[in-house]
């Protein structure tokens, strides 16, 4: 096909995942706000009997945000970006189209079952891998279907060289497949013994080994769901939206391969001062600090892409979204290594500084980048103009304020609590009983919950804006274009 022939891209699956991303986003953030208020006002735990306690709701918040909202967003962006940078339409292969639709169906069923089972308390207890074995198998199925889609589409591509975004999607696919398979090794007890619930399973690893495998998974599930595919998005959407070339190809190579090599080592920083061997803790700590290089490599590449074009921040809200996201990525990837230094970790571990760190990464970087991606895609998928630019601006400031309230309050709470736990008086006795270190946090928990609420309101504005764009936006004659240097 010659270059001037227009390829008719198919967005049906991208639209479906956009929809689930928004729905799961609302659910996960709503639950997040509820459990944040529960910590400030514990009576809220008893609103729905055993199903409304913090313990039951927390995995729904984390899994909903990571595997509901973020994964949907990633898949939506994949089914949009991949066709364009590989120069091939999904429609050209009925098989790949069928795989993509099956991928969506299995994914959706898995996620709905996840909510039900977690509410019922059916959990393996492993963070971000709480789902029991039948659901683990379903995850494996939809993940492999995605893999078939990835390599299938690459197989029939017209553009010979794989664009940077595709690298990151391939890495995500392979890494999550490996991590999920090894961390979910479990024996279904009823199948083996013939007694009890068929959903129940027991981990193949025990104690320290289990912890090691789990945090190798836990840390890198964060890496390859919340970081790597999000970088894939920024590498595509920022140049497209700004009309600027990526600043440096060499820097993108260094950042990509550096990130892959270093990231997997850093899981050990979750286990500092635990019973895993000391050398592993030290490796985790050292590699976390080295991780600053590839992380900042990507982020700086993004900021320098805007060189000479900073005026766009004033007139294009999406550029504002993406620059904020890149900046929060920098903040988060310097904060993480600081927490991984042993002496800092001694104070920070087990405190609220950790959720604080997670949330400046997720709220500032992941959610903002996905929202920017979906906003960029919407006019091109629905052939309609964005419904309201001023709503976008309002949303931006509401959510930015929310994030700042969130992480500042959690920094203070975490360091306060960490210092109180280890305070001794002049006679060599501990100064505070544990409950003293809990009651002191009440104001910070309240501030955090309010910050989360602001963020949720902003997300609802986003959802409304997307909904109106899809249904009532001004119809576009042709796709909006920016002076774009990259393929498609």
Partner 1 sequence: MFHWFEQRPFFFAVLVFIFISFAGIVEIIPDFAKQSRPTVGTKPYTVLELAGRNIYIKDSCNSCHSQLIRPFKSETDRYGMYSLSGEYAYDRPFLWGSKRTGPDLMRVGNYRTTDWHENHMMDPASVVPGTVMPAYPHMFTNITDMDTSYGEAYTIKHVFATPYDVDINGDGNIDVPLGTYEEAMKQALIEAKGITSDMKNQAIKDAVNAGKIPEIVALIAYLNSLK
Interface pick for partner 1 out of 140, 189, 248, 408 (rule CB under 8 A): 189
Q: How far is CA 478 from CA 6, 380, 381, 384, in A?
A: 12, 9, 11, 9
192 binds partner 1 (CB under 8 A): yes
Is residue 282 part of the contact set for partner 1 (CB under 8 A)?
no
Using the rule CB under 8 A, which residue among 105, 109, 277, 397 binds partner 1? 277
205 binds partner 1 (CB under 8 A): yes
Question: Is residue 251 near partner 1 by the rule CB under 8 A?
Answer: no
Near partner 1 by CB under 8 A: residue from 95, 98, 151, 397? 151
Task: State the nearest-atom distance from the C-beta of 355 to partner 1, in Å.
Answer: 7
Q: Of the listed pieces 118-126, 138-146, 299-307, 468-476, which binds partner 1 according to CB under 8 A?
A: 118-126
Give the DSSP per-residue string, 422-473.
T-B-TTS-BS--HHHHHHTTHHHHHHHHHHHHHHHHHHHHHHHHHHHHHHHS
Assess 211 for contact with partner 1 (CB under 8 A). yes
Mark residue 2 as left, alpha or beta (left: phi above 0; alpha: psi -120 to 50; beta: remaining): beta
What residues contact 433, with CB distance under 8 A and at least 6 apart?
A: none
Considering only residues 113, 144, 156, 178, which one is a binding residue for partner 1 as defined by CB under 8 A? 178
3-state secondary structure of 124: coil
**From 19-27, 136-144, 239-247, 348-356, span contacting partner 1 (CB under 8 A):** 348-356
Distant-in-sequence, close-in-space partners of 322: CB < 8 Å, separation ≥ 6:
234, 237, 238, 241, 302, 368, 369, 372
| Sole window of 63-71, 95-103, 279-287, 403-411 interacting with partner 1 (rule: CB under 8 A) | 279-287
Question: Which listed residue (90, 122, 340, 403) binds partner 1 by CB under 8 A?
Answer: 122
Kindly tell me which residue out of 105, 112, 137, 190 binds partner 1, with binding defined by CB under 8 A.
190
Number of residues that bind partner 1 (CB under 8 A): 91
Which listed residue (71, 212, 299, 371) binds partner 1 by CB under 8 A? 212
Smaller CB separation from partner 1, 60 or 381: 60
Tell me whether residue 141 is exposed, middle or buried, using C-beta atoms within 10 angstroms of its C-beta: 0 to 12, 13 to 18, 19 or more. middle
Does 135 help bind partner 1 (rule: CB under 8 A)? no
Binding mask 9-28 for partner 1 (x = CB under 8 A): --------------------
**Can residue 310 be called a binding residue for partner 1 (CB under 8 A)?**
no
Stretch that binds partner 1, among 64-72, 343-351, 362-370, 383-391 (CB under 8 A): 343-351
**CA angle at 72 for the pair 97 and 357, rounded to the nearest 5°:** 155
355 binds partner 1 (CB under 8 A): yes
Quick one: CA dihedral 157, 160, 162, 163, positive or negative? negative
* Nearest approach, Cβ of residue 18 and partner 1 (Å): 26
Least Cβ distance, residue 53 to partner 1 (angstroms): 4
267 Cβ contact list (under 8 Å, min separation 6) = 215, 216, 217, 218, 219, 220, 284
| 257 touches partner 1 by CB under 8 A | yes
- Burial string for 26-43 (b: 16+ CB within 10 Å, else e) reads bbbbbbbbbbbbbbbeee
Q: Max alpha carbon distance in the chain (Å)?
A: 83
Could you say whether residue 397 binds partner 1 (CB under 8 A)?
A: no
Q: Looking at 2, 3, 161, 315, which residue binds partner 1 (CB under 8 A)?
A: 161
Quick check: 232 and 239 in contact, CB under 8 A? no
CB of 182 within 8 A of CB of 205? no
367, 388 Cβ separation under 8 angstroms = no
> Nearest-CA neighbor of 261 among 361, 175, 181, 345?
175
Please calculate the CA angle 308-392-410 and round it to the nearest 5 degrees.
90
Positions in 418-447 near partner 1 (CB under 8 A): 421-424, 430, 434-435, 438-439, 445
Question: Interacting stretch for partner 1, rule CB under 8 A, among 107-115, 149-157, 365-373, 384-392?
Answer: 149-157
For the bound state, the minimum distance from the C-beta of residue 222 to partner 1, rounded and expressed in Å, comes to: 12
Closest C-alpha among 387, 315, 338, 356 to residue 36: 356
Q: Which three-class secondary structure state does DSSP give residue 137?
A: helix
For position 412 contacting partner 1 by CB under 8 A, the verdict is: no
Range 90-109, binding partner 1 (CB under 8 A): none
d(CA 216, CA 138): 22
Binding test (CB under 8 A) with partner 1, winner from 208, 245, 282, 309: 208
In terms of CB distance, is 196 or 308 closer to partner 1? 196
User: In terms of CB distance, is 112 or 190 closer to partner 1?
Assistant: 190
Angle at 372 between CA 367 and CA 374, to 5 degrees: 95
Contacts with partner 1 in 36-65 (CB under 8 A)?
Answer: 38-39, 42, 45-46, 49-50, 53-56, 58-59
């Amino acid at each position: 096909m010659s270059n001037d022939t227009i390829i008719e891209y198919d967005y049906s699956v991208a639209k479906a995942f956009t929809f689930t991303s928004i729905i799961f986003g609302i659910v996960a953030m709503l639950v997040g706000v509820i459990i944040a208020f529960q910590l400030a006002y514990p009576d809220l735990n008893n609103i729905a009997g055993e199903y409304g306690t913090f313990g039951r709701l927390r995995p729904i918040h984390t899994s909903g945000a990571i595997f509901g909202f973020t994964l949907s967003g990633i898949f939506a962006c994949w089914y949009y970006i991949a066709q364009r940078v590989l120069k091939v339409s999904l429609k050209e292969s009925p098989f790949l189209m069928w795989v993509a639709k099956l991928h969506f169906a299995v994914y959706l069923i898995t996620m709905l079952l996840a909510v039900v089972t977690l509410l019922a308390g059916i959990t393996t207890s492993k963070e971000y891998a709480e789902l029991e074995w039948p659901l683990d198998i379903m995850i494996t199925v939809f993940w492999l279907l995605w893999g078939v889609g990835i390599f299938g589409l690459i197989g029939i591509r017209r553009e010979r060289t794989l664009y940077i975004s595709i690298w990151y999607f391939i890495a995500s696919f392979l890494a999550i497949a490996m991590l999920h398979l090894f961390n979910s090794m479990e024996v279904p007890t009823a199948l083996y013994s013939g007694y009890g619930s068929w959903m129940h399973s027991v981990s193949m690893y025990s104690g320290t080994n289990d912890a090691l495998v789990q945090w190798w998974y836990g840390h890198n599930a964060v890496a390859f769901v919340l970081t790597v595919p999000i970088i894939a998005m920024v590498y595509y959407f920022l140049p497209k939206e700004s009309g600027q070339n990526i600043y440096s190809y060499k820097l993108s190579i260094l950042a990509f391969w550096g990130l892959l090599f270093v990231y997997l080592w850093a899981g050990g920083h979750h286990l500092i001062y635990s019973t895993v061997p000391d050398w592993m803790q030290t490796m985790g700590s050292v590699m976390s600090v080295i991780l600053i290089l590839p992380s900042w490599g990507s982020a700086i590449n993004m900021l320098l892409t805007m060189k000479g074009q900073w005026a766009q921040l004033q007139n294009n809200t999406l550029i504002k979204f993406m620059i904020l996201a890149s900046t929060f990525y920098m903040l988060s990837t310097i904060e993480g290594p600081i927490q991984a230094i042993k002496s800092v970790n001694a104070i920070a571990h087990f405190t609220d500084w950790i959720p604080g760190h997670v949330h400046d990464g997720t709220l500032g970087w992941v959610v903002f980048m996905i929202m920017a991606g979906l906003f960029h895609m919407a006019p091109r998928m629905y052939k309609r103009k964005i419904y309201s630019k001023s709503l976008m601006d309002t949303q931006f400031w509401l959510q930015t304020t929310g994030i700042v309230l969130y992480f500042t309050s959690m920094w203070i709470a975490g360091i306060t609590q960490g210092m109180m736990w280890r305070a001794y008086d002049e006679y060599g006795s501990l100064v505070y009983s544990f409950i003293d270190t809990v009651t002191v946090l009440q104001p910070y928990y309240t501030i955090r919950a309010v910050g989360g609420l602001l963020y949720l309101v902003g997300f609802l504005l986003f959802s409304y804006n997307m909904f109106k764009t899809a249904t009532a936006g001004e119809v576009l004659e042709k796709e909006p274009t920016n002076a774009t240097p990259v393929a498609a």
